[in-house]
Amino acid sequence: MRATPDGSMRPPAARPDRYGRTRLLVAASSGVALIALTVAVFLRGGTPTAFDLSLHRWLVDHRGPALSDAAVAVSDTDTGVCAYVLAAMGGAAAVARRPR
């Protein structure tokens, strides 16, 4: 509580959340983009778009040995336990509290 000029007491004013609106806007925009991409893929019957195909072709043509090794390592994780453990570790790292 803090005193006002007339001597009455009132609770302190709430500080506005500095990043709340920005985070909400980014989350909402990402959600809308994901829905739009899902609809586009669904309407194409699951086939990749021309942009996806050209980007993939360019990346495959221009990657070096290190990126090829990384691509093989990612592909080797498959859909088994390893992939779930890596995803869980990534999620835990993304939401971990950081000291202020």
Positions in the chain short of pLDDT 70:
1-5, 7-18, 79, 98-100
pLDDT reported for residue 4:
66
pTM score above 0.75? no
Rounded Cα gap, residues 42 and 49, in angstroms: 11
pLDDT reported for residue 29:
94
Rounded Cα gap, residues 14 and 51, in angstroms: 47
- Are the beta carbons of 42 and 36 closer than 8 angstroms? no
pLDDT reported for residue 49:
85
Domain boundaries, the chain: 17-62, 65-100
